Chain A
């Protein structure tokens, strides 16, 4: 019973999903009800996370499920992000007519999958969580089925995602075969440099994980899926799954694979550098803002992985801080994308923002802060995110990574500046509708304010994160 106590949030979420499904089946047109209920359920799950004390550290079910400070923090991030994404996308879902009762339920089940991934301490549990979240996301990506771009996005995502899951599973089986266990601790014990089969398995697993965080060279799906999916799903894809994917990334590298750091360090450095460079260069020519955000997120994942490449606790903490601030900035940006609407038609072209500052001074000020923050200009929060990463990278004396990373910052500043130029320097166009709902406004204003005032008390996040020590 003690063990079940610790997974009450997951159990609660599971039962709620079942109940919601029943409601959906027996009541017609129950989207509004189910949507509101699922936000409440997410909130309740969030509260239930604090059912046990924060410094609990336990491994349940034959050491296959870890409940510790790290998993708690990441679950908190996931749930907060999920709640805000839900709140800000409500209007959008109704206006483009994808308000089917399955939508919130799929979001919930993918969140459940992520929570399982975050806590997983065993290859099988990990894979279960991964598939639960991926399958829900494939469906969500093609949720607007009458729109062929959405169907295309879903199909692409599914085919490539299934391929990467296959590679990942193959890696898992190799590792199981050569180490004789699926448990992370036991794998770590059996891991050594000479075992080629294990190293092979690591490479396959890293490929699968790199796909999930859309890092180069496994990023090809991201721009198409981001562009094709309904914006509400894009927002979800850009923000929430990154947390879970990076968590398992960290867990894999620092628990079972830590003894062979020399083997994976070069791979991670390469992935990280390639993502930073591609994210910066490829985004320059984009005209669709969702596509641009896809490349931008590829670049940002590059920075987040740079922290992991160091193989130190500072690196992990840097990555976690980076991730938290990244979520915040993306939430703000996507809230702005939701606001690009004239007469019930949503616009996605960057040129549609032209001269926004004259018609909507507040939205454009928020975008200004968010974009400069994404570019990493002090004193905004995005600068601190990069700063912690580079603190760790330079401490590990990886100067090439640091210099390349900062040079790509300058390149990527160019395309963020281009959006600012369009907003502030160009002639204004027609106004956007201004009847946004409360949730959307809150998520925009809140994220902007946090980004603006972060520099006053940066210790807060550091204090919270400094308890995450995996080595």
Chain B
């Protein structure tokens, strides 16, 4: 196919944002225009990416829709392409962004035009991360996302927004500068930063792998976030506006998981093998510790933020089991966490818009006033704790199957996370929805409006759909994951043989 569909999907939101930027005056009419432009671009982008999914060939593990243009002459090419793993993340991004835009239009009153611009730029950068097949291009998109996110947290955030925005920015930046050094080192060691070259043809010498792996790890561990680098996340989530939290939880965290799968395992098999115990240790601590912390939270957003850290702990366990079930499980877990955490943050946003409090104690008895909200919130609570029939279950069970093959202790400890999740989520639900109405503020609360129902029910539909029928997801990633593991094992034996010599 000659039409550069990946570039179109990536840069369409940017073009939309330029249009909004050019709308100069701030009358109601022009703000409405800005809203239409944002909704239109993001939905067209969703359609484009669905079209991309349908024309994607699931019978091959090769990268597809490859675009290759000269970029920095003599050094790097601008290379785009997708395989079964990345296409799902692109779909997740293009699916979540329009919902975010709708929720922004529904609830944000101040400087809405700038918010829409930031969201659309963010979408471009996020899709770019998943499309890029060159390490430098990847870095460009990966790091560029900091700018709009910093502004989203800082301008539209809560009372401690400045502190959180700075913490988010500086933590992530510090993590990624080492990634930059590693990328440049790879270029000088192997002479290329082209991912296809690096994955298939070039082996990075063993002695370099450990340090390079650690450099990549430092970036992804901060972004994911893994314990003990997670402290920016609760702050950022609590202070960010709803749409910011959604983007952060649903997509930004997934960039790191994707990075682990694509780069850490793909490029450094020996080091990945070597550092697996470290990852398991940190993930288990993350699962158990942050679940316990989540139990004690009084702030709803903070609770969900900590639960995200725990869920991401599952993801890293799954990735580094390096079994087919584990990897597929963690990809599905990431997609489903993208849907569920987005929905949970939107749910919190709904009541926050009305009551302006995120404290659990200021709620209670919502079921009497807002029954629709109670139902929707219940679906996502159950999905978050991994009830069978929701997509959360599929991911977790696959990860645990993978973990049991590799290390029973890890699997047992990880399973405890499922129980903790049930504890904190159900307790949260009980305190917010059931009980008596104690807070007089709640009397004037009203139930979900049409936009909110549309946003939340579309998320609920996908959560349940993939819970009952995960086949479309599994079919898409199946061959790519098998190929990844095959490559990994081949490389590992190659290095072992080399060491034996």
- List A residues at the B interface (Cβ < 8 Å): 372, 377-379, 383, 387, 390-391, 394-395, 399, 402-403, 406-407, 409-410, 413-414, 417, 420-421, 424-425, 455, 458-459, 462-463, 466
Contacts and interface: CB of A to CB of B under 8 A. Distances in A.
A375 B70 CA distance: 27
A409 B143 contact: no
B154 interface: yes
B496 interface: no
A409 B136 CA distance: 18
B173 interface: yes
Nearest to A406: B177
Contacts of B165: 421, 425
B143 A378 contact: yes
B162 interface: yes
A462 B136 CA distance: 16
A395 B139 CA distance: 19
B140 A379 contact: yes
Given A394-B185, A394-B188, A425-B162, A459 B71 contact: yes
B117 to A, nearest CB: 10
Given A395-B188, A424-B154, A425-B161, A413 B147 contact: no
Nearest first, the 3 closest Cβ-Cβ pairs linking A and B are A406-B177, A459-B73, A378-B140
Given A390-B184, A425-B155, A409 B72 contact: no
Main secondary structure of the interface of A (DSSP, over half): helix
Contact of A417 (B139, B150, B181, B187): B150
Given A377-B143, A407-B174, A424 B151 contact: yes
A403 B174 contact: no
Contacts of A379: 140-141, 144
Contact of B166 (A409, A417, A459): A417
A78 B501 CA distance: 59
B71 A377 contact: no
A407 B177 contact: yes
Given A379-B141, A399-B181, A458-B72, 12 more contacts: A383-B143, A387-B184, A391-B184, A394-B188, A402-B184, A403-B178, A403-B181, A414-B166, A417-B150, A417-B170, A455-B140, A463-B73
Centre residue among A403, A409, A459 by max chain B CB count within 10 A: A459
A425 B154 contact: yes
Contacts of A462: 72-75
B146 interface: yes
Interface of B: 70-75, 136, 139-141, 143-144, 146-147, 150-151, 154-155, 161-162, 165-166, 169-170, 173-174, 177-178, 180-181, 184-185, 187-188
A374 to B, nearest CB: 13
Contacts of A390: 180-181, 184
Contacts of B178: 403, 406
A410 B188 contact: no
Contacts of B71: 458-459
B155 A410 contact: no
Nearest to B151: A424
Given A421-B162, A459-B71, A459-B73, A409 B151 contact: no
A391 B162 CA distance: 34
A459 B72 contact: yes
A413 B146 CA distance: 12
A372 B147 contact: yes
Nearest to B189: A394
B108 to A, nearest CB: 16
Given A425-B155, A459-B70, A377 B147 contact: yes
Nearest to B182: A394
A462 B143 CA distance: 22
A125 to B, nearest CB: 35
A413 B73 contact: no
Contacts of B173: 377, 409-410, 413
A377 B184 contact: no
Centre residue among B136, B139, B140, B147 by max chain A CB count within 10 A: B147
Nearest to A390: B184
A391 B136 CA distance: 12
B436 to A, nearest CB: 40
A372 B173 CA distance: 12
Nearest to A426: B162
Nearest to A418: B166
Contacts of B75: 391, 462
A410 B151 CA distance: 17
A298 B157 CA distance: 34
Nearest to A369: B147
A117 B143 CA distance: 40
Contacts of A377: 143-144, 146-147, 173
A421 B170 CA distance: 14
Contacts of A372: 147
